[in-house]
Amino acid sequence: MDDTSIIVLFQKRDESAVSEIRQKYIRLCEYIAGNVLSQREDVEECVNSACYEVWNSIPPACPNDLKSYICCIVRNIAINRLEYNSAAKRDSRYTVSLEEISDCVPATPDENVTLSDLADAISRFLHTQKEIHRKVFVRRYTYGDSVADIAKHFSLNEKTVATYLFRTRKKLKEFLKKEGYNYE
């Protein structure tokens, strides 16, 4: 079936238009999405989303070149998916570092304590620590750097960095208890 006929089916809201577009362009769509995404499931989901988007956009859209139109949609969806996947990977680093510090710093403090007060207390604590311990702590829990990246940045052994972090967290917990922040 030619592209003009497929567009007419879309304009008539005939569901066979989706089948026709899949039959004609699925390999091309998978190729385009596959060049952006690495996982087969993501590629399939991207192609399905593109078919759905074409269904929702024609009408009112009436593309002159259906092939270019669907290729553009697939590419944009694949790029968005790649950005989403990349963001998820970045967030996983933060999840690990947040789990480490959750024992001494609560995610939600008491209603009588503002986050600003808690931040001030942590800042006061950090200023009492050795410079290297403070910098390692900030790189891990503010910037979300991995232990390996911190070790490389400061020319330290990874075990040394892990020890610094462990001891600093322990001291922070004690400091916050003395300051009246007891969340156990």
Domain boundaries, the chain: 3-91, 102-178
Its pTM stands at 0.50
- Cβ–Cβ under 8 Å, residues 127 and 109: no
Output the CA torsion 116→122→128→132 (10° steps): -120
pLDDT band at 59 (very low <50, low <70, confident <90, very high): confident
State how far Cα 7 lies from the chain centre: 36
Which two tokens mark 117? 């007060």
Which residues, including other chains, have CB under 8 Å from residue 122's CB and lie 6 or more apart?
A: 105, 172, 176
How many Cβ atoms from other residues are within 10 Å of residue 100's Cβ? 16
- Could you tell me which residues come within 8 angstroms of residue 111 by beta carbon, excluding any fewer than 6 positions away? none
pLDDT in tens, 7-17: 899 899 999 99
According to the model, what pLDDT value does residue 114 have? 64
Does the structural domain 102-178 have CATH classification 1.10.10.10?
Answer: yes
Give the SS3 label for residue 182. coil
CATH architecture group of domain 3-91: Orthogonal Bundle (1.10)
Tokens of 130: 């050795």
pLDDT score of 177 more than 80: yes
Rounded Cα distance between 144 and 30, Å, is 35
